[in-house]
Structure 1
Amino acid sequence: MLRNDWSLEEIANIYHSPLLDLIFRAAQIHRNNNDYAEVQISSLISIKTGGCPEDCAYCPQAARYNTDVDVHALMQVEEVLATAKKAKDAGASRLCMGAAWREVRNNRDFTRVLEMVKAVNETGMEVCCTLGMLSYEQAQQLKEAGLYAYNHNVDTSRENYETIITTRTYDDRLDTLHNVRKANITVCSGGIIGLGETNNDRIKMLHTLSTLPHHPESVPINALVPVKGTPLENQPRVSVWEMVRMIATARIVMPKTVVRLSAGRTEMSLPEQALCFMAGANSIFAGDKLLTTPNPSFEDDMTMFEILGLKARKAFKAGAASPFADD
Structure 2
Amino acid sequence: MIRNDWTKEEISEIYHKPVLDLIYQAATIHRQYHEPNEVQVCTLLSIKTGGCPEDCAYCPQAARYHTDIKVEKLLDVQTVLQKAQEAKEAGSTRFCMGAAWREVRNNRDFDKVLEMVKGVAQMGLEVCCTLGMLTEEQAIKLKEAGLYAYNHNLDTSEEFYDEIISTRTYQDRLNTIANANKAKISVCSGGIIGMGETIEDRIGMLHTLATLPEHPESVPVNALVPVAGTPLENQPKVSVWEMVRMIATARILMPKAMVRLSAGRVRMSVEEQALCFLAGANSIFAGDKLLTTPNPDYISDQEMFQVLNLKPRQAYKNELTESLNV
Could you tell me the TM-score, scaled by structure 2's length?
Answer: 0.98
CA positional deviation for 1:17:
0.6
CA positional deviation for 1:49:
0.1
CA distance in 1, matches of 2:63, 2:105: 18
Cα deviation code 1:10-35 (max 9, x no counterpart): 00000001001000110001011111
Say which SS state the counterpart of residue 58 (structure 1) adopts: coil
CA positional deviation for 1:223:
0.2
Structure 1 position 2 matched with structure 2 position 6: no
Aligned residue number for residue 158 of structure 1: 158
Q: How does 1:66-81 map to 2 (within 5 A)?
A: 66-81=66-81
Q: How does 1:291-310 map to 2 (within 5 A)?
A: 291-310=291-310
Aligned residue number for residue 192 of structure 2: 192
CA positional deviation for 1:319:
1.9
CA positional deviation for 1:83:
0.3
CA distance in 1, matches of 2:133, 2:317: 27
- AA aligned to 1:55 is D
Say which SS state the counterpart of residue 318 (structure 1) adopts: helix
Aligned residue number for residue 235 of structure 2: 235
Unaligned runs of 5+ in 1: 323-327
CA distance in 2, matches of 1:56, 1:319: 35
Aligned residue number for residue 15 of structure 2: 15
- AA aligned to 1:186 is S
Moved over 3 A (4+): none
CA distance in 2, matches of 1:54, 1:268: 29
CA positional deviation for 1:191:
0.1
Q: How does 1:148-297 map to 2 (within 5 A)?
A: 148-297=148-297
Aligned residue number for residue 128 of structure 2: 128
- AA aligned to 1:216 is P
CA positional deviation for 1:283:
0.1
CA distance in 2, matches of 1:30, 1:94: 21
CA distance in 1, matches of 2:251, 2:11: 11
Count of matched residue positions in the alignment of Structure 1 and Structure 2: 321
Aligned residue number for residue 325 of structure 1: none
CA distance in 2, matches of 1:12, 1:87: 39
C-alpha RMSD over aligned residues: 0.9
Say which SS state the counterpart of residue 232 (structure 1) adopts: coil
CA distance in 1, matches of 2:209, 2:314: 25
Cα deviation code 1:187-226 (max 9, x no counterpart): 0000000010000000000000000000000000000000
Aligned residue number for residue 115 of structure 1: 115
CA positional deviation for 1:318:
1.3
CA distance in 2, matches of 1:304, 1:256: 24
- AA aligned to 1:110 is F
Aligned residue number for residue 64 of structure 2: 64
- AA aligned to 2:255 is P
CA distance in 1, matches of 2:302, 2:213: 36
Aligned residue number for residue 314 of structure 2: 314
CA distance in 1, matches of 2:114, 2:52: 20
CA positional deviation for 1:242:
0.3
CA distance in 2, matches of 1:271, 1:228: 28
CA distance in 2, matches of 1:170, 1:154: 7
CA distance in 2, matches of 1:207, 1:37: 27
